[in-house]
Structure 1
Amino acid sequence: MRSTLGVSALALLFIGGLWLVAAPFAVGYQPRGDEWTDATVNDVWVGGLLAGGAFVALVAYAADALRELARRGRHAVDTTH
């Protein structure tokens, strides 16, 4: 249960970070071709850091899960002989 909640939270943080990066352009408060406003720069940096951090944590979680599966598989093979 805890791991599902944690992965769900990381996925939401990742999606939220992507939205922060895209929002100024998708919503239209950053005019096309104009110099970026301070709000746009802030959204892109914060969203990028949030999405990047969540992505790294998700990859680390997946790597740990794969490592655990491999360990269990190796253990199962060793006990049958």
Structure 2
Amino acid sequence: MRAKVGITALVLLFLGGLWLVAAPFAVGYQPRGDEYADATVNDLWVGGALAALGFVALVIYAADVLRELASRGKHADV
């Protein structure tokens, strides 16, 4: 159960970061062709950092799960 909560939190962190990156353009507060507003730059940096953090954490978690499964399989053959 704890693993599901953790994975859900990481996925939400990743998706929230992606939303922050897309929001200035999806919502329309960054006019097309104009110089980026300070809010847009902030959303891009913070959203990119959150999305990257969530993605890296998910990859590390998946690698750990695969390592544990491989370890269990190795011990089962003995």
TM-score, normalised by the number of residues in structure 2? 0.99
Percent identity (aligned) = 74
Instruction: State the structure with more CA Rg.
Output: 1
Between the aligned partners of 1:46 and 1:74, the Cα distance in structure 2 is: 42
For the residue of structure 1 that corresponds to 2:29, the secondary structure is: coil
RMSD over aligned CA atoms reads: 0.3
Deviation at 1:11, TM superposition (A): 0.1
Deviation at 1:44, TM superposition (A): 0.3
Deviation at 1:74, TM superposition (A): 0.4
TM-score, normalised by the number of residues in structure 1? 0.95
Gaps of 5+ in 1: none
Between the aligned partners of 2:44 and 2:2, the Cα distance in structure 1 is: 30
Q: Give CA-to-partner distance per residue, 1:15-58, whole Å, 9 cap, x none.
A: 00000000000111000000000000000000000000010000
